[in-house]
Chain A
Amino acid sequence: MNCIMGIDVGSVSVKVVLLDQKSRVLKAFYERSSGRPLEILMKLFRKIPNSYNILGVGITGSARTFAGKVIGADLVKNEITAHAAALLKFYPRARTVIEIGGQDSKIIIFRNKIPVDFAMNTVCAAGTGSFLDQQAGRLCIPIEDFGRLALQSKKALKVGGRCTVFSESDMIQKQQAGHDIKDIINGLCNNLVKNYLNNVAKGKDMEKPFVLLGGVAANVGIVRAFEKQLGSKMIIPNHYKVMGAIGMALLVSHHLPKKTRFRGLDFRKYRLKREAFQCKGCINQCDIIKIDVCGEVSHIGSKCGKWG
């Protein structure tokens, strides 16, 4: 079967989606990367039946440059553009899109089916999925239960959400003072949303309908906090976790290459060699990664462009 592949290699998870030529989702895979994104991507590739004929591949996410070079992606794009493409296809009426990923959070404002404004978190990472993950780990609570526990809380405690370090010490202090863990989690969800609205969404014309994307959308505590603070219902799409990957597949399908550069689903055939070194060309001493895939050599990491 002919299909188009979209990949999102993020900081916390790896997503792979296969669309047919009518842009219907055939397969969608989501797996936590656990710090080994390439290995997890290989694992997901193994789940794809060989009967699928891949016509083109698009990749996004924080590891897109590296992973894109390794697998031979036809299109490499940033996460904002990828999410915008998916939203326009599946939720063309959306006016405000909130996307909270592993290491960054974004807002995209749509008017008349075109993105007119966007923002990303800048110097603060307190409102991202990684932080929630970290706190869940510290409290020995599975991240999947985080939202459910927040909903059971009767009152939300004030937990600093401005900075991860202060948030954590605030939470520890509240635990030591004997507060219920559910109230602390509820407080964290509320303050995380407040931080997002005060920083990422600062000055943006947020209008209904609101769409929430990213792994954090699975957290019902966060969803409730958004609904409470925005005074409106949040739309959570069916494929909220993999919208970036869907967007990439859609973008590739708009400009389908005559022949895909994709090297195939079998990683063993890639003959991948990696080498890290420090460029001594100038005082910047950039850390360069040399990638050799099937004899095709490329470099990532130079500031001046010396290494391509």
Chain B
Amino acid sequence: MKIMLAYNNDLTVFLSTIFRAIGFKIDYLGRPTQKTIELATKYSPEAWCFDTKLMLGQAIEGAKRGNDILTMPGAWGGKNENCLLGYLCKGVMEKRIEKAVGRKIKLWYFNINPIEMIYSGYFAAYKNIALLRKYSKARFFRTKAIKAFVLGAGKMKMAAKLKEKILDSADVAEKEKLFSVYDNFIYDMIYNADTKEDAKKAFEEAAAGISNLRKKKLGKKLVIGIIGDYEHTLLSTFPVLDIEKFLLSQDVFVKQPLSFVNYFSFLSPLYSSKNRKGLKELLPKSVAGSDAVTILCANYLKNRVDGLIHVGTFSCTPEEVADEVLLAHKEKFPPIVSLSYDAHTTEENMKVRIEAFVDMLLAHKRRK
């Protein structure tokens, strides 16, 4: 059976390992493109947040490529399984995809809500993987899945670590080489690294590749943190403008603490009691949960960065809630710029804001 794999940062590496182990053939879609946006806007109601639209667009792309199983890896939020606004309620997406491709489809949701993430992220992830059993012909499904689960988690940690290394490489002269190292690594992790040793070798090679790149001397070291709608902001997944790439091209060091490794683990510094201290009145009674995670990220980064960029897809309620909270308590955080984007946002508009923000932070630094 052929299963669609959409790009979802380090989670892509984790899921691909499990999919292959339980006998599926992977069809890796890569990053969202203009085509994804076109499909997303064509087949979704105007009122849907852009995030959900993109997920629908990717699933339709997957269906059009003849995949037997489509995946919806961003369906966390709220109580139990679905987005509280109902966009991701079972049946809603399926009907739209079927209308777009004219045939029946099988849709698998990777549903983990933030409460589960904090207390038992990996267990909740396994609960979702187990739902694939009905489609798999693999013998000893559970053994294979658990084994792949451990390997996948290890590979995911390596991917997160490598990304961190890249984001901390603003002083590299040839930035394009930096990104191609990451692309090749992800591809290797999805299709080739079947053992821990293979993965480790690929990671070491990629890390060495980055370390060996020529460096240049920078003037003031500027560090900017990115928080918010993470699944579309990580290295080139952002269809309007890749913010991280753009910041690196401006010689800015980037911190992005919300890898899936951090999201999954209760040991993550984001959820630690130290990071939650003093935030009780700031953390909203969640609409869908990611608002609270965004605020935790902002709190975690506040003493580590010069400024924060809060990214949210247009009309994403949790991110709008987070934005309001951050705005109301802005004295507690470094300068923040909010970027909301949808299918009509132009690259130029985003660039102006980011460039101006960088210039403003540099002026602050000079002043200090």
Contacts and interface: CB of A to CB of B under 8 A. Distances in A.
Given A78-B355, A123-B314, A305-B176, A116 B335 contact: yes
Interface of B: 33-35, 176, 179, 236, 241-242, 245, 314, 327, 335, 337, 340, 342, 344-345, 347-349, 351-353, 355-357, 359-360, 363-364, 367
Interface string A68-105: 00000000011111001000000000000000000010
Interface in A263-308: 282-285, 303-305
Contacts of B335: 116-117
B363 A62 contact: no
Q: Is the interface of A mostly helix, strand, loop or mixed?
A: loop
Among B35, B340, B344, B356, the most chain A Cβ lie within 10 Å of the Cβ of: B356
Given A115-B360, A116-B335, A116-B360, A283 B349 contact: no
B363 A114 contact: yes
Given A117-B335, A123-B314, A303-B241, 10 more contacts: A78-B351, A78-B356, A81-B359, A115-B363, A118-B357, A120-B352, A122-B345, A203-B327, A284-B34, A303-B347
Contacts of B34: 283-285
B176 A122 contact: no
A77 B359 contact: yes
A305 B353 CA distance: 20
Contacts of A112: 367
A95 to B, nearest CB: 15
B364 A114 contact: yes
Contacts of B355: 77-78, 80-81
Contacts of B356: 78, 80-81, 118
A127 B313 CA distance: 22
Contacts of A120: 349, 352-353
A62 B347 contact: no
B344 A123 contact: yes
A284 B355 CA distance: 24
B142 to A, nearest CB: 38
Contact of B360 (A77, A79, A118, A285): A118
The 4 closest A-B pairs by CB, nearest first: A80-B356, A81-B359, A283-B33, A78-B355
Nearest to A205: B330
Nearest to A65: B348
B78 to A, nearest CB: 26
Contact of B342 (A114, A116, A123, A282): A123
Nearest to A79: B352
B326 to A, nearest CB: 10
Contacts of A203: 327
A17 B341 CA distance: 34
B363 A104 contact: no
Nearest to B347: A303
A283 B65 CA distance: 14
Given A123-B314, A283-B35, A284-B34, A80 B363 contact: no
Contacts of A84: 359-360, 363
Nearest to A115: B360
Contacts of A116: 335, 360, 364
15 contacts: A79-B352, A80-B352, A81-B359, A104-B349, A104-B352, A114-B364, A114-B367, A115-B360, A116-B360, A122-B345, A203-B327, A283-B34, A303-B242, A303-B347, A305-B176
B259 to A, nearest CB: 23
